[in-house]
Amino acid sequence: MEVVGIDVGFGFTKAYNGKNSVIFKSLLGDATDIQFRSLLGDESSTSNLHITFEDKSYFLGSYAEMQSNIRDFTLDQEKLIENFVKIFAVAAAGICTDTLAPINIVSGLPVGYLKRDSKKFKEAIRGTHEITFHNNDGKDVTKRVTIDKIHIIPQPIGSIFNLIFDDKGKIRDKSLATQKLGVVDIGFKTTDFSIFDHLQYIERGSSTMDTGISKCFSVIANKLRQESNINIELYRIFQFIESGMIKIRGKEYNISNLKKRVYTHAAAAIASDLNRLWENDWDIDSIILSGGGSVELSEFLSPNIDGNVIPIGKNIDARFNNVQGYCKFGRYKWGYSKYISDTQQEKKSTKVKKASTADDKNEAVEPSEKEDEKSDKQSKGGLSWLRRQN
Ligand SMILES: Nc1ncnc2c1ncn2[C@@H]1O[C@H](COP(=O)(O)OP(=O)(O)OP(=O)(O)O)[C@@H](O)[C@H]1O
Ligand SMILES: [Mg+2]
């Protein structure tokens, strides 16, 4: 059974199955008729996302940003779950995986919405979905995505699992598994705080705040509107942030200083939330910064945090931390060796067109795989709280 980690964030939808990574802006648009397509430009699998799903056609992500007449995104949790999650999750899974067999999903919700929205989230994505990808070369590919088991965990815990587990879902860092860890996941809309102590999730130190990067973008957009009279949609600001320059109607605006001021202010707000929330958790061993926003804020944030902050790796795209952790956790939970033997079986059955027999199911398991399964079972005790949510 293949495991796909899916993270439908307010800024970006991410998916990872251990092999393929998918990312697109969580932006939905109407599909327009494009009469001329240049073959130049970005050819990545998510740059021209045109899909048909449940009898409606959409552009997704940057394609919607560029080509759709009506573009829709949300910073509202309820709307995200009701209007967007199903389309984004199925599209992301459809791009990520090639298997025809049912897949299992691990996903996350902001800590503050875990209880309220888990059921709705599962109901939205469970089952068999048909989705057509309209490729740039005019070829349509229809995929059937069947989602079997779904496990939802607090979003920031994905980042901790990403550090603790290896790709096979085995605990690779035993020292982290015996520590008290704090994680700060700074996303587009939310900042999620969570504590994980000796592999136990600590509800008390976990919370969701509305201090994501979009707040900073709002301030920048307001300032630009005052100066240029143009209303800039928040999801269009990403591309100007790094250079610090934005050109509006031919006139250049330098937003570097404003960005610095706004980020300093945001980092101070996050640090003060953290210090208040974790006031009594002075025994945290390490603090992990995660989420795309942490890349931008870390230089402003780290000096304000008292504690051992694990620096963000330079070559890492921190937007993927959660989703990679989801996939690793899924392999831990449902067994990597089972996934491998399922894949081999799937390959076999497509190569040799014979009716499947009971022999296939009883195929000898390699001794090392047996060992793996045994150690899986032994180590699962510590994470029993996660299994209860099934
Ligand atoms: N290469 C990049 N392109 C665009 N944004 C980036 C990039 N690298 C980091 N970022 C930052 O990542 C942020 C989005 O991070 P992330 O994908 O973790 O958020 P999200 O999960 O969509 O949001 P939320 O957790 O609030 O739902 C952006 O606001 C931006 O500041
Ligand atoms: Mg996020």
| Centroid of ligand 1 to alpha carbon of 372 (angstroms) | 36
Same structural domain, 131 and 56: yes
Q: How does pLDDT run across 275-292, given as a tens digit for each residue?
A: 999 999 999 999 999 999
| Centroid of ligand 2 to alpha carbon of 76 (angstroms) | 14
- State which of 255, 284, 316 marks the end of a domain: 316
Q: Does residue 84 carry a pLDDT above 90?
A: yes
Same structural domain, 304 and 179: yes
Q: Which CA distances in Å does 295 have to 82, 96, 184, 290, 365?
A: 30, 25, 12, 8, 43
Q: Give the pLDDT of residue 44.
A: 65
Select the more confidently predicted residue: 49 or 361: 49
169 in a domain, yes or no? no
Pairing of the two strands 28-30 and 56-60: antiparallel
137 in a domain, yes or no? yes
Over residues 328-351, mean pLDDT: 76
Q: Does residue 19 carry a pLDDT above 70?
A: yes
Q: Which CA distances in Å does 218 have to 43, 54, 261, 352?
A: 31, 34, 13, 58
| Centroid of ligand 1 to alpha carbon of 188 (angstroms) | 5
* pTM, rounded to two decimals: 0.87
233 in a domain, yes or no? yes
3-state SS, one letter per residue, for 305-368: CCCCEECCCCCCCHHHHHHHHHHHHHHHHHCHHHHHHHHHHHHHHHHCCCCCCHHHHCCCCCHH
CATH of the domain at 55: 3.30.420.40
Rounded to an integer, what distance in angstroms lies between the CA atom of residue 324 and that of residue 17?
8
Indicate which residue's Cα is closest to atom 5 of ligand 1.
Answer: 238
Same structural domain, 146 and 221: no
Indicate which residue's Cα is closest to atom 6 of ligand 1.
Answer: 292
Same structural domain, 89 and 215: no
Residue 122 CA to its chain's centroid (Å): 16
Q: How many domains does the chain have?
A: 3
Task: Tell me the sheet residues that pair with 144.
Answer: 130
Q: How does pLDDT run across 216-273, given as a tens digit for each residue?
A: 999 999 999 999 999 999 999 998 998 999 999 999 999 999 999 999 999 999 999 9
| Confidence band of 377 (pLDDT split at 50, 70, 90) | very low
Edge-to-edge strands of the sheet including 127-134?
21-25, 12-16, 2-8, 103-109, 140-154, 127-134, 50-53, 56-60, 28-30, 71-72
Over residues 47-74, mean pLDDT: 94
Type of residue numbered 302:
S
Same structural domain, 26 and 145: yes
Same structural domain, 102 and 209: no
Q: Indicate the SS3 state at residue 76.
A: coil
160 in a domain, yes or no? no
Query: What's the chain's average pLDDT?
Result: 86
Q: Which of 7, 12, 326 to mutate to test the pocket of ligand 1 (most atoms within 8 A of CB)?
A: 12
Full domain range(s) for residue 268: 174-316
Rounded to an integer, what distance in angstroms lies between the CA atom of residue 287 and that of residue 274?
11
- State which of 272, 287, 316 marks the end of a domain: 316
Rounded to an integer, what distance in angstroms lies between the CA atom of residue 26 and that of residue 81?
12
Select the more confidently predicted residue: 95 or 42: 95
Report which of 185, 166, 212 is spatially closest to residue 322, judged by C-alpha positions.
185
Same structural domain, 128 and 212: no
Q: Give the pLDDT of residue 152.
A: 97
97 in a domain, yes or no? yes
168 in a domain, yes or no? no
Same structural domain, 199 and 250: yes
Indicate which residue's Cα is closest to atom 17 of ligand 1.
Answer: 319
Rounded to an integer, what distance in angstroms lies between the CA atom of residue 205 and that of residue 248?
43
| Centroid of ligand 2 to alpha carbon of 111 (angstroms) | 11
Cβ atoms within 10 Å of 85's Cβ, excluding its own = 22
Same structural domain, 6 and 141: yes
Same structural domain, 222 and 149: no
Same structural domain, 57 and 192: no
Q: How does pLDDT run across 177-197, given as a tens digit for each residue?
A: 899 999 999 999 999 999 999
- State which of 316, 346, 367 marks the end of a domain: 316
94 in a domain, yes or no? yes
Same structural domain, 17 and 131: yes
167 in a domain, yes or no? no
- Give ligand 1 pocket residues (Cβ under 6 A): 9-12, 187-190, 212-213, 238, 291-293, 295-296, 319
